[in-house]
Chain A
Amino acid sequence: MRSTKFCLSIFCLLLFAAGALLASDGSWLRKVPAAERARVNPYAGQPAAAHAGALLFAEHCAQCHGKDALGHRGHPSLRSQEVRHATDGELAWVLRNGVLWKGMPSWSILPEAERWQIITYLRSLQPELGEAGTSIKKKTAVWEENRKTAGGLLPVPPFLLVHVPCVAQA
């Protein structure tokens, strides 16, 4: 009987410790190390990678984030401002580590190349849907106007650099 109590106590202690460790809050973006943030997607802008990424997304991600990545049943949209403004390196970090205290599991078991393909797919999504898309669309229109005025010499702003396919459409 003493052994049972001892083992149950250990079990409860482990459960409490794990809960306490993971209960801390905060944006996952703030936790990304600088080196990870700056990583470059080797498949950026490649349509084949985006296509493969779409299949991987349907297999692993759509169950929570929806087929259209707009999120559902409390799971976040992947077309949000936060995701749009995140660098590829930041998205790669969150796929590898997850955000455990918010329910996002780690996908480190997927090969790194597959994770980059998923990110390539996310970048290829159309920006028209949702508030984030409206905002980026307006910014893109303003930039296009300014670029024409400047004779096509205006540098590409950061918010468009992470949306290569959108630039192509613009």
Chain B
Amino acid sequence: MQFLLFLLLIGRRASARPHPFRISALVPQVPAAAFLLLACAAGGKVARAQEPPYFVTYSEALEEPGNLEVATKNLAGSPRDAHTFLSSTLELEYGATAWWTTELYLQGQTTAQDSTLFTGFRWENRFRALPTEHRLNPVLYVEYEDVNGADKSILEVTGHDGIGDLQTPNGEGRREISRTMEGKLILSSNARGWNFSENWIMEKNLMGGAWEYGYAAGVSRPLMLRGDIRNCVFCRQNIGAGAEVYGGLGTVHDFGLRDTSHYAGPAANLNLPHGPTVSFSPQFGLNHNSAGVLWRFDVSYEVQQLRDLFHQEAE
């Protein structure tokens, strides 16, 4: 699928110089596929993930305890004055408890007429701050990230991130290593079937640099709020639709919107009963410092009660 998507995206540039697509572009997805097959073979059940269709914004939804979600998050784009790229991120999300979810990301990208490379990893943790549901539900997010400058996953936008980061050749970008700690305050509400989520982001490069800030917000709703009596795939209850917006807010020295980039777009997902969740979103740059359009495409599987595979059945 990624191969086809990538071919479609680079098709119009291929006539100038055929891009040698490298199978290594799919390397980040290999552990996910292997792990998923292993879990299925061992008896784990694969089912849908139940989350709003956001790509950057986090909601209060945590992974159910004992479940492992394996997802591939893909982003493709053709920024101005830069080559078409496809970024692939493998996400392993595990519900440690009902109030703590931990995730590992492995990131890579391939750029037309340039190269394919692994760009780094990130480890994140989300903690539900309050034991009961309220109108506004806070979730605390802490992340450690070790990526190089060639990373194009855009899992968040902070500080003065912009189109310049996407125009840098891979050979140059990969030499710039950044190790950062990132915190987010996730605020989320559920009302009448709607989910409203807002994220306030602060990021600090441990190798030097100022605190950087960003934001993300999303709103979504399933197309139908009641469960259907049929066990159908394309029932409206299985489809979620919404929109999200995100961008940078400068640094501690120059907080604001100057020289920042922002994106917004609709998002939708299809939760296949006892199957994967497929999400799609075109996201549009809102100012001159943003890439024109980013195409996002995710597939996620949830392996239910993975930890039960390692426990004996209690008599």
Contact = CB atoms under 8 A, between A and B. Distances in A.
A22 B314 CA distance: 26
B95 A105 contact: yes
B64 interface: yes
Interface string A26-59: 0000010000000000000000100111011001
Interface residues of A, number: 44
B305 interface: yes
Contact of B227 (A53, A74, A106): A53
B242 interface: no
B259 interface: no
Contact count band on B: 35 or more
Contacts of A18: 99-100, 127-129, 140
Interface string A65-107: 0000000111000000000000000000000111111111110
Contacts of B195: 109
Interface in B299-315: 304-305, 308, 311, 313-314
B305 A106 contact: no
Contacts of A48: 229
Contacts of B314: 73-74
Contact of B64 (A72, A73, A105): A105
B81 interface: no
For the complex of A and B, the 8 pairs showing the least CB-CB separation, nearest first, are: A52-B227, A111-B225, A63-B304, A7-B181, A100-B98, A105-B98, A18-B127, A113-B226
Nearest to A47: B229
Nearest to A72: B313
Interface stretch (B9-17, B47-55, B161-169, B284-292): B47-55
Given A10-B183, A111-B193, 17 more contacts: A3-B204, A10-B142, A15-B100, A22-B131, A55-B227, A56-B227, A73-B311, A100-B98, A103-B97, A105-B64, A105-B95, A106-B98, A106-B128, A106-B133, A108-B137, A109-B52, A112-B225
Interface residue SS majority, chain A = helix
Interface string B108-147: 0000000000000000010111111100010010101000
A63 B47 contact: yes
A166 interface: no
B232 to A, nearest CB: 10
A162 to B, nearest CB: 21
A64 interface: yes
Report which residue of B132, B183, B193, B274 has the largest number of chain A beta carbons within 10 angstroms of its beta carbon: B132
5 contacts: A14-B142, A55-B227, A97-B133, A103-B98, A114-B226
